[in-house]
Amino acid sequence: MTTRDDTKTTKTRLDALRVEIERRNPAQPEFHQAVHEVLDTLAPVLAARPEYAEPGLIERLCEPERQVIFRVPWQDDKGHVHVNRGFRVEFNSALGPYKGGLRFHPSVNLGIIKFLGFEQIFKNALTGLGIGGGKGGSDFDPHGRSDAEIMRFCQSFMTELYRHIGEHTDVPAGDIGVGGREIGYLFGQYRRITNRWEAGVLTGKGAGWGGSAIRPEATGYGSVLFAAAMLRERGEDLEGQTAVVSGSGNVAIYTVEKLLALGANPLTCSDSSGYVVDDKGIDVDLLKQVKEVERGRISDYAERRGASARFVPGGRVWDVPGDVALPSATQNELDENDAATLVRNGVKAVAEGANMPTTPEAVHLFQRAGVAFGPGKAANAGGVAVSALEMAQNHARTAWSPARVEEELAHIMGDIHTTCHETAERYGASGDYVTGANIAGFERVADAMLAQGVI
């Protein structure tokens, strides 16, 4: 039986570890934030199962197995040479090959990649699909670049990355700035260098050459399914609810699409220039045309939508009242002030479509207010889940129907919700999906690490 003294001693050890992690990883605030969020919830499970504390397991879990940083030189259309920095952090492979996306964005640095890779460990564990955690990317900015420039960059990036990945080692996918076009260029260069048709080395491929149905939609669809499950747990239904969505990239677009399919009314979307409020509900076909085909600004949507839509330059999308909030853009986009506004306006549930989009202060405010809060490692696991299903299809050299993949996705998201909810209950934190997700993911990884020895 766990005593208060056991829990207190465990918290003291975790506090010391927190200080040591900050010392060993200076100037990486996003990584510190991700680690702290997990460590803050582990005291009960470590007190109940002291074997997890003995072989330096937490220390090993917080240290990547491998960190690769490399130079990426490339030429623009005018012949000018640019040099970017590439990253791949292979964090933990206890459950399977490293799995996690590549992000191309000027904000990318080692700390951000480490935070994303650390989150990926637990997210991937929650899917139950036998994949480890990793992440990668570059500080390359694809915005405004031609297809030819992006191709040359991707080829240069893969010329180094190829030696570190493989279908049984590390399987990258897309993330911010890396969609089907970039995956195609990366796969082509990998095939060219290795002389192997190794379909399982990358996921997010085109449907005609090894990709899975529903992969582009999966993260957004999954976050909506998780939000719906949280509402059902409280005796409510998503149908008829209004929703505030941030972002207008892949995750946001398919979040809007799934909200509409389930009878909810998504009112907003945004980009770096501001946000749109559409009183009739976002027209997903127009949003796709503006963002996926034309690569335009969100203000273009408002101009073409008509009287029901208005563009708000700058500002905070969270000022718009809604029953459900789905942050789907980037990390730390929703702060304590935003959370207070959402609570004042009656928000019932928040599901993170992006990775760590809600600051710790905002999370705590939602929890104190009784808002159902689904952390990204649970709520946005649909993308990596379908990536793992893509790997399975590649291994069998087959392609599943969209209906089958969507059914599998719904089943996985339902299982993740149940696992998080039941784990929180088991550790005396009823309704706390953050604690449930962290402990459930941790237990699965920790058991595998214990079984495999100190490596």
Q: Note whether 322 and 272 are within 8 A (CB).
A: no
Active site residue 135: yes
Q: Note whether 234 and 372 are within 8 A (CB).
A: yes
End-to-end alpha-carbon separation of the chain, Å? 30
How is residue 45 written in tokens? 């499970």
Residues 253, 220: Cα–Cα separation, whole Å: 7
From the candidates 123, 135, 205, 291, give the one annotated as an active-site residue. 135
CA–CA distances in Å: residue 312 to residues 13, 18, 270, 276: 48, 41, 9, 6
Residues 353, 369: Cα–Cα separation, whole Å: 21
**Residues annotated as part of the active site:** 135
